[in-house]
């Protein structure tokens, strides 16, 4: 078993990077055809966007649901034995630096492009750096408030003890609540999953966090048949959510099932992450894979608005659509690497110092520490 808290599970880093690529492919190859993001829309309108691959990329949105599963798994791993304040501190240090840096990069690009009024752009930037849950500088920021609410739920649950059994029970209850919402939606009118307030309750997407938490708990505590029942509500809710999203995207066509198949296939690296660790350690360069896993977060935050602006600019210079996408994907990887390598560390160190100084003034002994990067 991987030493808890001392190293990354390489399978999870590779899966997260693959999910980010799926989401990028979905937005660039399908979203830009049907509904470009507001900041880059003016540059893309009227340009020769090649949508021929759109049917093959339409399932890439499943990467977001998989991100939630990985998050649940990782949080169940890192929260065990942690105090609420230490857990919240690690989450704070993980989320804020990249979000601030990426929001600022996107804001600069939007101001230069002149796609929105400066006041609107600055307002969106301010909402992003303050983690305002109703909007952000990039449409991808919609998931951050959901993640934050999930972290708050876990931090509150740790007040009763940070045992894996407690974390498992929280996962089971979260999965049950999400299942109740989705099963009810099949029979009676319920507030829509696209409503922002509903999303913030975790009811639509809590099933995915719950799956990750429960998978981790079972790996650690053993696959006892009685406890496997905990997985059933979360699994049912996940299937209904994915199918509901599929119908929105593709119409009520029961023959079109790639999102469910892709989701099931991508659960395998999570289920077997620890068993795969020795083989992956021999097969790949662990530091490179770890860096790819860390790059996932800034890549996700940057790819929509900044990608639309830069691709739109290249199209207006006469570059064909797919070569423009390839060039901008390399650019996005370089920017994400720069954020991870040069941007996040000094900002995170500053936040740590500020946190320690405040803890000292308040007479508390808690320290903001960081475990493995993906924690």
How much is the pLDDT for 3? 39
How much is the pLDDT for 361? 74
Angle at 98 between CA 294 and CA 342, to 5 degrees: 75
Q: What is the pLDDT of residues 60-95, one digit of tens each?
A: 999 999 999 999 999 999 998 899 999 999 999 999
CB-based contacts of 110, cutoff 8 Å, min separation 6: 39, 116, 121, 137, 305, 309
Asked if residue 48 belongs to a domain, the reply is: no
Write out the residue range of the structural domain in which residue 188 sits. 10-32+54-360
How much is the pLDDT for 364? 55
How much is the pLDDT for 362? 66
Asked if residue 322 belongs to a domain, the reply is: yes
Domain total in the chain: 1
Asked if residue 82 belongs to a domain, the reply is: yes
- CA neighbours closer than 13 Å in the CB half-sphere of residue 312: 25
Asked if residue 187 belongs to a domain, the reply is: yes
- Find where tokens 């990077």 sit: 17
Asked if residue 325 belongs to a domain, the reply is: yes
Asked if residue 372 belongs to a domain, the reply is: no
Q: What is the pLDDT of residues 154-172, one digit of tens each?
A: 999 999 777 888 999 999 9
Are 38 and 14 in contact by the 8 Å Cβ rule? The answer is: no
Asked if residue 47 belongs to a domain, the reply is: no
Give the residue ranges of the chain where pLDDT is below 70: 1-7, 226, 249-257, 359, 362-375
């Amino acid at each position: 078993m991987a030493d808890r808290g001392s190293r990354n599970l390489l399978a999870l880093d590779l899966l997260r990077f693959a999910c980010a690529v799926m989401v990028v492919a979905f937005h660039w190859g399908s979203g830009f055809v049907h509904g470009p993001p507001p900041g880059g829309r003016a540059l893309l309108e009227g340009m020769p966007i090649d949508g021929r691959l759109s049917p093959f990329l339409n399932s890439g949105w499943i990467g977001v649901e998989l991100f939630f599963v990985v998050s649940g798994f990782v949080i169940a791993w890192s929260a065990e034995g942690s105090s609420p304040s230490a857990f919240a501190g690690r989450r704070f240090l993980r989320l804020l630096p990249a979000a601030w840096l990426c929001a600022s990069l996107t804001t600069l690009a939007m101001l230069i492009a002149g796609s929105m009024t400066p006041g609107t752009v600055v307002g969106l930037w301010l909402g992003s750096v303050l983690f305002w849950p109703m909007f952000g500088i990039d449409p991808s920021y919609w998931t951050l408030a959901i993640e934050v609410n999930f972290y708050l739920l876990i931090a509150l649950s740790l007040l009763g003890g940070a045992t894996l059994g407690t974390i498992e029970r929280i996962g089971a209850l979260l999965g049950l609540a999400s299942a109740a919402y989705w099963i009810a939606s099949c029979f009676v009118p319920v507030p829509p999953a696209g409503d922002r307030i509903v999303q913030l309750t975790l009811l639509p997407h809590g099933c995915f966090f719950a799956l990750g938490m429960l998978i981790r708990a079972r790996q650690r505590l053993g696959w006892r048949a009685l406890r496997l029942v905990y997985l059933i509500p979360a699994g049912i809710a996940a299937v209904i959510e994915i199918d509901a999203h599929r119908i929105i995207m593709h119409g009520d066509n029961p023959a079109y099932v790639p999102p469910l198949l892709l989701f099931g296939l991508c659960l395998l690296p999570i289920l077997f992450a620890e068993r795969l660790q020795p083989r992956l350690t021999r097969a790949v360069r662990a530091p490179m894979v770890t860096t790819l896993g860390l790059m996932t977060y800034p890549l996700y935050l940057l790819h929509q608005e900044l990608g639309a602006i830069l691709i739109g600019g290249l199209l207006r210079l006469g570059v064909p659509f797919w070569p423009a996408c390839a060039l901008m994907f390399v650019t996005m990887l370089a920017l994400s690497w720069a954020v991870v390598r040069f941007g996040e560390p000094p900002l995170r160190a500053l936040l740590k110092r500020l946190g320690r100084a405040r803890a000292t003034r308040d007479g508390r002994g808690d320290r903001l520490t960081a475990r493995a990067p993906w924690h």
